[in-house]
Structure 1
Amino acid sequence: MRVRPERLNATVAWLFMAGSACFVVGSVPAYLDAIGGWADGVTYVVGSLFFTSASYGQLVQAQSPATTEVDEVTQDRPAPVRLLGWAPHDRSWLAAAVQFPGTVFFNISTVAALTHNATAAETDRYVWRPDLFGSVLFLVSSALAVLAVSDRFFRVQPQSFPWRIAWLNMTGSVLFMASALASYVVPSTDAVLGARLAVAGTFWGAACFLVGAALMLPAWRRAVTSAAAATPP
């Protein structure tokens, strides 16, 4: 299979943006009040599917060097891709490989939230646990991504698009984790542990992912330009 590298990168970016936008909108109370709980749940399900599609595309990128090692000419030439790969010594690949199952857990949690009219214990089992597992994997993936773009975890590189994207995703992952913990349903009261934190964590976490995904487009252009400049005439 062959794809145009620039098109693959743009597709991944737009899918991540679409998924993030769904989570941002879905967490706005006014949106929930306007369309109702079921439709709001569908918004989250659709967003999680966008996330999973984008994550798999990013995994394909990470294991297909021909889709990223390009210049202004080769970015538009169809390049071979590996749909399955194994590169555990590559931190970028590890970050993508860990992120992908995390998005699948969000698929499970959002569908479960939409379909299960359950007790508190069942809600924690079917919805909260996969949500927590997904958030943990997002955190691990984000940490690996930071290490992939910097030789030290807390090294500040504000001029670097990859560094900014990695830390926006790290911030979003931390906020998603906070939201997941706050979403725990206390069995004795049938109430969410921290409703406001759960909503705020989802909204701001998704907003971070949205901005990070949007930065993938100028980051690609800068990388391509730099590669072209480094190529001898």
Structure 2
Amino acid sequence: MRFKVLIAVVGVVALASGATAHASDRVPLSAKVASCLTGADPDARAAAFTGSMPALSGTRRMQMRFQLQQRPGSSTRTRYKRVSVPGWSGWVTSDPGREGFVFTKRVEALTAPAAYRATVTFRWLDARGHAQKTLTRTTPACEEPDPRADLVLASLSATAIAGGQAAYAISVENDGLTEADPFAVTLTIDGRVSNPLTLGPVAPGAQATGSLAAPRCAPGSTITVTLDVAGTVDESVESDDVVQRACPLA
């Protein structure tokens, strides 16, 4: 896996000479998500992870090592796996004599759907360069949602017309992140399938509405609405394209 851009930002914290440190002034020991940017375009997807650590008594320098992990797909049951990223695996080291050390690493052009997190290993070194203490923390996850379109039935209504027919008004919303191409919708009433109604294209977050004539449904019966009958739209969720609704006629 190759990421487009890697940026490392380092920060250090030092007390002025003669200053007294208060507990509230100390740099906390933490590993966190500094930013998590999502979007339909890979160039819009990025994550930054920050580690921070306070100096211990006798600490001369502090070090951190970041490792990026990815959980591919949308399922939370999938395990995280380490991702090899140039510039991430080496130790970064503070200047000597600092009271605290803060370091941020950023990665861009993330794939989606996926979740990303970082493990941060902290190490404290004494004046001889010996490790006083080493521990590891894991950041929360940056979730990158599926960027594809997702069609959902927004509403269904009907008005009785002549000849035992009804005019059915159908609204379909795109809950995804990219535009949905034109698609066909049908109704199944008492086992009979209507002529298709073509809707779209539909922008993200928008709705498309149209109407079709089909046999009147009996009050209390069930109608089956099938979105994207021909499967022309690549969706993040396909399982909600067949929906059952109560007959909208009283």
Do the structures match in fold with TM over 0.5?
no
Give TM-score scaled by structure 2 length: 0.23
Greater fraction of residues in helix = 1
Query: Higher relative contact order by CA 8 Å / sep ≥ 6: 1 or 2?
Result: 1
Greater fraction of residues in strand = 2
Give TM-score scaled by structure 1 length: 0.24
